[in-house]
Amino acid sequence: MASKTTPAFRIAIIGVGQVGTAAAYSIILASLATELLIVDLDRELRDTEQQYEQLLTRKRAKVNIVVITAGSKYNRGETAVQHTYKKISIVRSIVEEMKPFRSDTILLVVANPVDLLTFFAYELSGLPASQVLGSGTFLDSLRVRNLLAQKIKIAPASIDLYTVGLHGDSQIVAWSDATIGGMPMSKVFGANASECEDATNEGMKRLETMIRVKGSTPLGIGAAVSSICSSITSDQRNIRPICYMQPEWGCCFSMPAVLGRAGVVKKIDMALDSTEKMALEQSVKELKATIENVSQNQ
Ligand SMILES: NC(=O)c1ccc[n+]([C@@H]2O[C@H](COP(=O)([O-])OP(=O)(O)OC[C@H]3O[C@@H](n4cnc5c(N)ncnc54)[C@H](O)[C@@H]3O)[C@@H](O)[C@H]2O)c1
């Protein structure tokens, strides 16, 4: 594959189902890697079948970005807890299989529950926290920003609005920090600012329901993965709401960060208001309880 970036930049995608395939397609279109290593348990889906093991052994220690999209579907009769354990064990086996990592390898977890799995990927990998990322709320942030842009008829690029916290139902749209052209929403829209927020929140809920009913939406997350990889390969230093270790909370969740070749180059601290902070505390408490349970039962 041709490269516009650094020489010999290798990306591995582990798990080539719907999301892994969409991510691979976006990465190829953007010419982000000199080599793309496609890995799946399913022999039909993965890279060069011949001498596959030798290929993996030879190349894995040279991979710059490892994207984990491997997941499992619910089996009949399986409980949510059993399913979570299964997903953690998939991440564990992948991390062990891909070791030894280069000292500058970036791990990018996309599989859900992304915040929990990013935490275990970090713990198991031995890599610095700045190099273990999850796709987190990046795609959610783009979606909510687009909805607001449609509502206020201003280009999305002129809006800074992030969805933070845990990816999923408890994620928080950080309205208190939203700016338009560098100005707080309330300054631009006065009393109408909260109307814009309500309408956008409503739109986001409708969109989430639609996505849930429709099932998987791999193209969006595939493009988001490619965009994150591009920030890394080209050391773009753009601000992205992604999942990474939050040492003061003792777990991983999404907050904006400056993203570059070394992963999280700088953490951006957001001044959430008290309601947003309370919501974050509640969801983090639940995440940490799950981490504790899993850790005790290992
Ligand atoms: N973060 C997000 O925004 C987001 C969005 C959509 C989907 N997802 C998540 O991405 C994951 C994948 O979704 P999907 O629709 O592609 O699922 P899928 O079932 O289509 O694909 C999963 C693939 O992983 C492979 N796999 C399982 N264990 C493996 C292992 N140990 N090594 C290598 N490959 C392995 C399976 O063979 C399968 O091909 C899910 O966890 C899903 O929840 C995340």
**H, E, C per residue of 38-59:** EECCCCCCCCCCCCHHHHHHHH
How far apart are the C-alpha atoms of 161 and 144, rounded to whole Å? 8
Could you read off the pLDDT of 8-21 as tens digits, one per residue? 899 999 999 999 99
Cis bond before residue 100 (omega within 30° of 0): yes
How far apart are the C-alpha atoms of 173 and 168, rounded to whole Å? 12
Active-site amino acid positions? 167
Q: How many angstroms is it from 113 CA to the middle of ligand 1?
A: 11
In percent, the amount of the chain with pLDDT more than 90 equals 72
Which ligand 1 atom minimizes the distance to the CA of 18? 16
Mean pLDDT of all residues belonging to the chain: 91
Write the ipTM.
0.97
In percent, the amount of the chain with pLDDT more than 70 equals 92
The answer, yes or no, to whether residue 264 has pLDDT greater than 90, is: yes
Report the pLDDT value the prediction gives residue 45, as an integer from 0 to 100: 65
Could you read off the pLDDT of 133-151 as tens digits, one per residue? 999 999 999 999 999 999 9
Q: Which amino acid is at 67?
A: V
Q: How many angstroms is it from 105 CA to the middle of ligand 1?
A: 21
Which ligand 1 atom minimizes the distance to the CA of 220? 5
Q: How many angstroms is it from 72 CA to the middle of ligand 1?
A: 6
> Does 136 appear as a known binding residue?
no
Name the DSSP letter for residue 129.
G
> Does 19 appear as a known binding residue?
yes
How far apart are the C-alpha atoms of 248 and 52, rounded to whole Å? 42
How far apart are the C-alpha atoms of 41 and 16, rounded to whole Å? 9
Which of 2-16, 110-124, 218-232, 245-259 is predicted with the least confidence, judged by mean pLDDT? 2-16
Q: Which of 124, 243, 256, 102 is nearest to 179 (CA)?
A: 256
Cβ neighbours of residue 215 closer than 8 Å, sequence gap 6 or more: none
Report the pLDDT value the prediction gives residue 219, as an integer from 0 to 100: 93
In this structure, the residues whose C-beta lies within 6 A of any atom of ligand 1 are: 14-20, 39-42, 45, 69-73, 90, 93-94, 110-112, 114, 135, 139, 167, 216, 218, 221
Q: How many angstroms is it from 45 CA to the middle of ligand 1?
A: 12
Higher pLDDT, 262 or 51: 262
Could you read off the pLDDT of 101-130 as tens digits, one per residue? 999 999 999 999 999 999 999 999 999 999
The answer, yes or no, to whether residue 78 has pLDDT greater than 90, is: no
